[in-house]
Structure 1
Amino acid sequence: MDEQCHSPLFHIPFEVRDAIYSCLFTSTTLTFTTAVPYDDGSRAIFQPPMYPVALLRTCRRVNAEIAKSWLSQVLFHFNDPMSMLDKLAAISLEKLSLVRYIIVRGEPLMLTYPPKRQVQHRLVGILKLLPRLQLRRLTVLGGRCDKYQYRMLDELVKYGNGWQELRFISNTSEMLGYAYYCLDSTLRDRYQRRPQPEYWQSVMEERDGVQSNPSVLIYRARRAGHRGDVLEPETRELIAQSHTKTPFPDDYEAAEDPVLMSENERGKELMVVVRRGQCGVDYGEKVDSPLLPDRDIRRDFPGKTWLDIRRVCIEAAHTIEVVGPPSGLLRLRPLS
C-alpha cells in the first residue's frame, strides 16, 4: 500500500505541486561563508539554514518530483570568493550547469603560494575554475577600493563568461570618478578609467556582435547614503559619462569626474548592468577556455582542481619558518 496516498499534498494535481515547489525555492537564499581558522588549527564552519531544502528529504516521492530543479531556482549568496569555490567546485559539472543565480562579494581571493608568497586573484579568474557555469544572473557586491572595483568589473566585461546578466553594485559613485595617473606605461592599463557605459558597450559589441544586442547600463541612486536605493526603479536614474574626444581619450582618468566625485554626489550607489548578446551567444564558462592575459590561477596550477590548489596553499600558509643552524632554514608544519 502506498503510504503517501492519504497525504493532502499528493491529492493536488502535479502542476499545482510543481508551482508550490517553485514558489518555495525561488524565494530561498542560501548563504555561505568561508570557514574561519582558529589559533589552535581548528576551524569554525558556518553552515546556512537548510530548512528550505529540507523538503527534499521529506519523502522519496517529493525528492523525485523536485529532482535537481531547485538548483536553478534558489539564490546562492557567497560572502567571499573562497566560499563560492569551496561549495560549487565540489559538485558535479552537471549540477553546476543548473545553477542560475549567484550573489558574491567582489573581494580578492588571497592565496599563499609555496614557499610563503601572497598572491591575489580577482573574480574573473576565479570563475574560470567553475567550468560549465551558465548563470542567468550574477550579482557582484563591490568592495571598498574604487580602483580595484573598476578593474574587476572591467575584466569581467572583457573576459568574463558563465553569466547572461551581470549586476555590479558599488556603495559609492567613486568607482567611475577617481583620478589616476601613472608614468609607467606597463602599469597604466591596470586602473585606466574610460567614459562609461560607452566604452564597455563597445567591448560587449566586439565580443558578442552588434546584431546580438548586448547592452551595458549604469544606474545611480538619487540619494546619497541610502543603501538599496539603486535597486529600486523609483529611487534611481540612468547615467552616462560624456567626453569630447574621438576615439576614447587616453588621458580620461587623469582628472576626477567633477560630478561623481563632488561631496554631495560621491556617496550615491551605482549599479552597472551588463547583458550578453541575446541571439546565438554561448556565454557558458568553458572547460578549456583561453588563459587570461594577466594573472590566471590556472597558469600557476596547470591541470589542478580547486581542491588541489586549496590544499597546496593551506599547507604553505601554515608552514612555520624557524631560523635553524647555519645550514639554512628548518621548515615545520603544524600537526594535522
Structure 2
Amino acid sequence: MGFSAMDKSHRQYETPSRFLLLPPEIRLQVYRHLLSSTCLTHGQRPITRISTKHKLMKPAPNSLAILRSCRSINREIGSFWIGQVLFAFERVHDLLEKLSSVPRGVVEQIRHIRVGSQPILLLPPPDYRNKVLVKLVWALKLLPGLRLGTLTVLGDYGPEVAYITIDGLVNYGNEWRELRYITGDSRMLGFRRVQFYHQILYARKPQPSTWSRVMAERDGVDSGAAVAIYRSTQANTPGTVINPQNRQRFEQELQPGESVESFGVGEDPELMHEDNARKELLVIVRRGEHAKIIEDTTVPFHKDDIRQVFGVMTWPEIKERYDWQPSDSEDEVGSEEEQGLVEYDSYVDVNEYTIMPLD
C-alpha cells in the first residue's frame, strides 16, 4: 500500500482536504476501522426455512464509497481493502460462484469470509451414476491460494449437517487461522445417531474434547491450537451468542459407564428439549501458531475429497459437466430480479448474521 510514501505523493497536489493532511499512520487507522466494519454480502437467501422462494442479497450500494471519494484516497488504499472487509456468502455455491471468477491474486488477499453451510448437490451427466455432495471443507479446496484470518460459518441446514460440516473443517480444513461456527440452536450437539441398516450416517462425539484432540494431533500439543464451545444464555434470541455477556462455556462429558462408541446413540434430552434447544451455539477453533493454512497439494487427497472425482478441474469446469442443486428446490436464475426479490444488505454491526429459525 505504501503508506510510508504517502506524504511525498500528496505534496505533489494542493488539496483543501484536511483528512489528507493527517499523518499517514492516522489515515491508515481510519481506513482500517472503516473497512473492517464493512460487509459485502452476496447470494440467495431463502424467505423462510421451508420456502422455495429466495431473495437475492447484495452489498449496500455505498459499501465501498470511500474508494470513490477521490483519486488520491483510491490510490492510497489500493487493494488494502480486500483483506479488511468481510465477504459474506449466503451459500457454499455463492462463494464458489463469486471467488472462482476472480484472479488468484485477489483470492490470496482475502482474510475474512462468512458463509452458510448448505452443501451443493451435483447431479451427474447421463454417463455417470453417482451424485456428488460438495461439503464446505472440500469446496474451499477449489479456491487455490485461500488463506483466511477468520472463517465464520453459519450452521443453517439442520443439526446433522451442521455437525458433519464443522467436523470436516476441524479434521481437514487448511484455509483459515480461526474458525467461528454458529448454529441457531443447540441441536447440533444433541441429535441421536442416525443409521441406515448397519451403516452409521450421522454420529456425534463429546465436544469440544474430541475436536481439541484432533487439533492437538494436527498442529501439536504445545502449538496453541484450541477449541471452545459457547452456548447462549437466552432462548429464541438470535445474535446473542456472539456477545460474551450473553453466553457461557459448554462442555460434554462421558457419563459413568459410557464410552465414546456409545455416546450419542440417543438424543440429549436437555439439548433437544424445545425450550433449551432454541439457544445458539458458537464453536471457536484456533489453529496452532505455526500451522500451515495453505492447502498442500503434494499430499494424497482424502478419500472424501471431491478432488478425487474432479482432479484439477475448476468450479466452472465442474459446472459444465454436472448440474448443481444447492437446495431441494431452486428458483430459475434471474427470477429474483424479475419478481423484485432483491435486498441490499443493511446492518449496524458487521458481525450481524441471519439464520433461519427452527420450524
Q: Is the 8 A contact 2:120 2:325 kept in 1?
A: no
Larger Rg, first or second structure (1 or 2): 1
Q: Which residue pairs with 2:315 in the alignment?
A: 306
The amino acid across from 2:134 in the alignment is H
The amino acid across from 1:297 in the alignment is I
Equivalence map 1:104-143=2 (5 Å): 104-115=115-126, 118-143=131-156
The amino acid across from 1:158 in the alignment is N
For the residue of structure 2 that corresponds to 1:175, the secondary structure is helix
TM-score by length of 2: 0.77
Q: 2:303 aligns with which of 283, 293, 299?
A: 293
Q: Which residue pairs with 1:170 in the alignment?
A: 183
Shift in Å, 1:70: 0.6
Shift in Å, 1:211: 1.0
Shift in Å, 1:47: 4.1
Query: How many pairs are equivalent?
Result: 306
Q: Is the 8 A contact 1:125 1:292 kept in 2?
A: no
The amino acid across from 2:103 in the alignment is S
Work out the CA distance in 2 between the residues paired with 1:173 and 1:21: 38
Q: Is the 8 A contact 1:164 1:275 kept in 2?
A: yes
Report whether the alignment pairs 1:241 with 2:249: no
Work out the CA distance in 2 between the residues paired with 1:49 and 1:263: 36
The amino acid across from 1:180 in the alignment is R
Please identify, of 267-276 and 117-126, the stretch whose mean Cα deviation from structure 2 is larger: 117-126
Work out the CA distance in 1 between the residues paired with 2:58 and 2:274: 41
Report whether the alignment pairs 1:272 with 2:279: no
Q: 1:260 to 1:45 in 2, by over 3 A?
A: closer
Q: Which residue pairs with 2:33 in the alignment?
A: 23
Work out the CA distance in 2 between the residues paired with 1:197 and 1:87: 33
Q: 1:156 to 1:11 in 2, by over 3 A?
A: same
Report whether the alignment pairs 1:157 with 2:170: yes
Higher relative contact order at CA 8 Å, sep ≥6: structure 1 or structure 2? 2
The amino acid across from 2:35 in the alignment is F
Q: Which residue pairs with 1:9 in the alignment?
A: 19
Q: Which residue pairs with 1:85 in the alignment?
A: 96
> RMSD in angstroms over aligned alpha carbons?
2.8
For the residue of structure 1 that corresponds to 2:277, the secondary structure is coil
Shift in Å, 1:105: 0.6
Shift in Å, 1:268: 1.2
Q: Is the 8 A contact 2:45 2:90 kept in 1?
A: no
Shift in Å, 1:316: 11
Shift in Å, 1:303: 1.9
Q: 2:273 aligns with which of 248, 257, 262?
A: 262
Report whether the alignment pairs 1:192 with 2:194: no
For the residue of structure 2 that corresponds to 1:7, the secondary structure is coil
Work out the CA distance in 2 between the residues paired with 1:26 and 1:102: 12
Q: Is the 8 A contact 1:141 1:169 kept in 2?
A: yes
Work out the CA distance in 1 between the residues paired with 2:236 and 2:217: 36
Q: 1:63 aligns with which of 62, 68, 74?
A: 74
* Cα deviations by residue, 1:181-238 (Å, 9 ceiling, x for unpaired): 53755x32x4221111111111111111101021111101112111112111111110
Shift in Å, 1:113: 2.4
* Cα deviations by residue, 1:281-323 (Å, 9 ceiling, x for unpaired): 11223455642322x3322222211121223335999xxxxxx
Gapped regions of structure 2 (runs ≥ 5)? 1-10, 47-54, 327-359
Work out the CA distance in 1 between the residues paired with 2:252 and 2:324: 47
Work out the CA distance in 1 between the residues paired with 2:84 and 2:72: 19
The amino acid across from 2:144 in the alignment is P
Shift in Å, 1:255: 1.6
Gapped regions of structure 1 (runs ≥ 5)? 37-43, 318-336
